[in-house]
Structure 1
């Protein structure tokens, strides 16, 4: 399930809080001048794609709704728009890996391993979506679209978790789970200083 009617909303505070981490990972790359490749999965009309572009990223924005992706037409240079049905079609990204993988307000459990695999060496995963308990305050309410306790932590086994939250937010009322995690480079001799927001 993707929510694609929020193109005029600001980026999620959970996502924007990790801008310093994104910059630290960029600086730690073998060639910091090379553009950061980002994936905004189930991007809807692209409020987070726009945020990633503002951070200097080249973005692959994927959604099943071509009309929602049309809201990104003014960003053609740094944005590749991909129309794909993630739940009923093939994975549209082959073996591509990204420096940043971002997912908000979307859950299709069968894709969790692919999402984690899409995080490249030294890359960052930012994920935020609804959790169990949300059925008591609104939609989504189907268990298929609500993370179980600790589910994102289990899905990110093998990544270094920088931050994780599971709880209730009052405005608007919702239960969420969210994670920021990195795939550390095995050959690094100097540890990356992951800034805590």
Structure 2
């Protein structure tokens, strides 16, 4: 019997964390053909009990249910510009595109760049890039990805995730409530410590 090395276990944990971020984003996307099958497969790769519960709750999700909350005029806006009225929307979207382009991120979803699913997916993408950089022994690239993730969380996704989660508490769509809650919890681990704060 072969015992996995410490580094192998670390890589496995990092891959599971990247999968959790990606699953979080996927759960917040509009249901489409093959969406739930993708969620079920990805949830097997994550250890987060809250995300697994969200994945199970997503089994009955429909596009109509999603659009009644997140669609145009829905109960909950999934867009960052809604919760950042003090900022120029064009500047906000430009900043997001700058992040995405710097790391060659191309969202799969047709949602706008400030949609909660797209932003959560970006953090999953950064987590995956960080794992790959560490596997290639490129600590500088890994540190850049980790730093960008912390900055992106604090400058963009934190307020959006917390606002959406608060509005979803009583909305009656369990998988979205659980996914938003898991996103807030996961993101708090990215908050910079006192030595990293500006």
Given the two structures, how large is their TM-score scaled by the length of structure 1? 0.29
Given the two structures, how large is their TM-score scaled by the length of structure 2? 0.29
Question: Is the strand fraction higher in 1 or 2?
Answer: 1
Question: Is the helix fraction higher in 1 or 2?
Answer: 2
Larger radius of gyration: 2
